[in-house]
Structure 1
């Protein structure tokens, strides 16, 4: 029996009404103003074993290019005019975060082994793995990354609760650390309406606001009380507490949406008087995989459930009609769905099965050998 594969990642174009929805090793594109599909699932595709899927996606500044990376350790650059592949770059390890520089001349990519590389888009000649060196490295997995607006700094978060601010491209020059999280940091983003401010979140259920060039915390808003009624049933100690999986920003109304892994609830924070304040909770019918505000202020959600996508207007009322076409469209059919909630495994070996502990330990040893070489 086959199952429809949900949209594991979604991202909205910064300049056009287009939402990209990752589906296995394909992606669909939806017009968020009309609900019409711009890029559909391939008609000749059959049941997919889903050995590859998108781990991260990022648009360039003007939305003309989209960078994607998946399990195949390839970085692909797509032309958003016709959705053709414009460039590919080999990655050393699986990528957890990718971003274009402001002039779209380079792609910066952070991998699961804690290293960050930059790839030039001016030269199509691939650089062999033994010749390309990382611009910076962490001793634990890098979970997210963002470049400052002027490309002078790269901010990286890791599994060990650290947020590091480094010079770009000379990442060995560390500007400062933003320290305060007590569990894995899963998200780092610049505040769209003030890009001198960094917003971070993670496994401690706290959204933190930083003056990141000084390494000083401006605000910490604890959301554990608000998410408590909507926490998922714990499968082990790693999933006992809620973990923030994604953030999305509405520049029009100065709002931040906060999604939690395996939870059907999204918390809305409003930016007032230069700080974030809890505004309301949106409760959906099924667990949320990813969230994205569009340019009109509507909030889109992808789900692990019968309904693949839902959308809420600026008053946070559900709008079924605009998501109807994408929910009824053909998507990847898989015999078996991979684990959609590996984010819980980023926590520190709390009651994990012995085989997983061994695997993580082997990975750490490999990383140490690589660092000492």
Structure 2
């Protein structure tokens, strides 16, 4: 039985698509579908001392050997220049940087809390990482000090965990679980970080002077799980999560420009869809097709992928274009011809594809692209498990929704 592919990333420079399932990552040639590289967390070198943590030997439980999700990949991102692949893991709370050339491990850092979101800034030199407790860290792509150098030159570093955190810099924090963050383009000579959390906050923070909160964007009533600044409109922010709508902001001023209805599109058969609490919105992904100034929005409650036209004129309302049904796990745009790779999880039958390629037209319609490359990638992706019980929990974003106490 094949394990669903939980995360996708695409390297536009080398035309390589990366797939992650469990604790494994595989790279494929996007033109031919041939597998290029494979890596897993089992390949991480052990500490030279042979100890997981000095003075505190690792306790092994029965569940450690039984669960394949012992170190599952949570996020996967490729730097714009295509040199590095950035991943985070759940159980061991790791940040990993791999070279896209040979999958060698460039950076390996452990965090005190589970990472939940990453972004790349400083022209591909710095990783911004947020964790489930709301803290945000700045980490260089290539470490300035190796663990061994830290061990020799800094006697106060007493164990392997502290050594791995030597060049990790905490820069700011939320009081709630951080769910998504993005680094903004340069606007008026300044840069910012925009972050969203479970407590309905959208926060604009100066960077690198992250101690200064520039503003909050208020308007959400539920968790904020997805943020996007379209490349063709750098002062526009699209945010979504558990509300019935997306919000379109002019983030440079904090002005709410438009609430884009989602619930009414997902559940049109309900006469009063916005008054029916049985049907909810859970925005699990927002991506852009810059070629056509189109954004894609995936709702994992209704399992629908929607397309909207978003003008570069921030005063012009977004226009709904089309909708298609998919049980989607992730999507990675290629930046060419409106195409994107998608991973699916509804696989009661093994012969059903886990990986497909779609194309979004200029009118917003979504069509599947049949190609030898996509067929090869789907068949060559070897994420196999012994039984359905070994498949990782998918953790839908709808679990972030707060429920009233009774």
For residues 24 and 109 of structure 1, the distance between their equivalents in structure 2, rounded to whole angstroms, comes to: 20
For residues 166 and 326 of structure 1, the distance between their equivalents in structure 2, rounded to whole angstroms, comes to: 40
1:70 Cα offset (Å): 0.8
Q: 2:370: which partner in 1?
A: 320
CA displacement, residues 232-254 of structure 1 (integer Å, 9 cap, x when unaligned): xxxxx998512010111111122
Judged with a 3 Å threshold, the aligned counterparts in structure 2 of structure 1 residues 199 and 16 are, in CA distance, closer, same or farther, namely: farther
Q: Which moved more, 1:85-94 or 1:158-167?
A: 85-94
Q: Which moved more, 1:124-133 or 1:86-95?
A: 124-133
- Aligned partner (choices 89, 111, 117) of residue 131 of structure 2: 111
The answer as to whether partners of 2:295 and 2:309 remain within 8 angstroms in 1 is yes
CA displacement, residues 308-348 of structure 1 (integer Å, 9 cap, x when unaligned): 12222244321233421222222131542232134222111
The answer as to whether partners of 1:238 and 1:347 remain within 8 angstroms in 2 is no
- Aligned partner (choices 6, 21, 28) of residue 8 of structure 1: 6
Q: Secondary structure at the match of 1:161?
A: coil
The answer as to whether partners of 2:143 and 2:167 remain within 8 angstroms in 1 is no
Gap regions ≥5 residues in structure 2? 44-64, 148-156, 271-275, 348-352
Task: Tell me if 1:25 matches 2:23.
Answer: yes
- Aligned partner (choices 367, 372, 383) of residue 331 of structure 1: 383
For residues 208 and 216 of structure 1, the distance between their equivalents in structure 2, rounded to whole angstroms, comes to: 10
- Aligned partner (choices 312, 332, 348) of residue 402 of structure 2: 348
Judged with a 3 Å threshold, the aligned counterparts in structure 2 of structure 1 residues 264 and 325 are, in CA distance, closer, same or farther, namely: farther
Q: Secondary structure at the match of 1:246?
A: strand
For residues 270 and 36 of structure 1, the distance between their equivalents in structure 2, rounded to whole angstroms, comes to: 35
Q: 1:355: which partner in 2?
A: none
Q: Secondary structure at the match of 1:191?
A: coil
Q: Secondary structure at the match of 2:70?
A: coil
Judged with a 3 Å threshold, the aligned counterparts in structure 2 of structure 1 residues 73 and 210 are, in CA distance, closer, same or farther, namely: same
CA displacement, residues 92-119 of structure 1 (integer Å, 9 cap, x when unaligned): 2111111222333322110000000112
Alignment of structure 1 residues 1-373 onto 2, 5 Å: 3-40=1-38, 49-71=68-90, 72-120=92-140, 121-125=142-146, 128=162, 134-150=170-186, 152-228=191-267, 240-272=279-311, 274=313, 275-284=317-326, 287-296=327-336, 297-306=338-347, 307-315=353-361, 316-321=366-371, 322-329=373-380, 330-333=382-385, 335=387, 336=389, 337-349=391-403
1:133 Cα offset (Å): 5.6
Q: Secondary structure at the match of 2:399?
A: helix
The answer as to whether partners of 2:6 and 2:343 remain within 8 angstroms in 1 is yes
The answer as to whether partners of 2:177 and 2:197 remain within 8 angstroms in 1 is yes
TM-score (norm 1): 0.82
Q: Please give the root-mean-square deviation of Cα atoms over the aligned residues, in Å.
A: 3.0
Q: Secondary structure at the match of 1:194?
A: coil
For residues 270 and 204 of structure 1, the distance between their equivalents in structure 2, rounded to whole angstroms, comes to: 20
Could you list the runs of 4 or more consecutive aligned residues of structure 1 that deviate by over 6 angstroms after TM superposition?
44-48
For residues 106 and 253 of structure 2, the distance between their equivalents in structure 1, rounded to whole angstroms, comes to: 38
1:73 Cα offset (Å): 1.1
For residues 278 and 85 of structure 2, the distance between their equivalents in structure 1, rounded to whole angstroms, comes to: 32
1:170 Cα offset (Å): 2.7
TM-score (norm 2): 0.76
Q: Which has the larger radius of gyration?
A: 2
CA displacement, residues 76-101 of structure 1 (integer Å, 9 cap, x when unaligned): 11111222211112222111111222
Judged with a 3 Å threshold, the aligned counterparts in structure 2 of structure 1 residues 105 and 311 are, in CA distance, closer, same or farther, namely: closer
1:74 Cα offset (Å): 1.1
For residues 8 and 230 of structure 1, the distance between their equivalents in structure 2, rounded to whole angstroms, comes to: 31
CA displacement, residues 208-236 of structure 1 (integer Å, 9 cap, x when unaligned): 222212111222211112222699xxxxx
The answer as to whether partners of 1:211 and 1:217 remain within 8 angstroms in 2 is yes
The answer as to whether partners of 1:291 and 1:301 remain within 8 angstroms in 2 is yes
For residues 332 and 212 of structure 2, the distance between their equivalents in structure 1, rounded to whole angstroms, comes to: 33
Q: Secondary structure at the match of 1:226?
A: helix
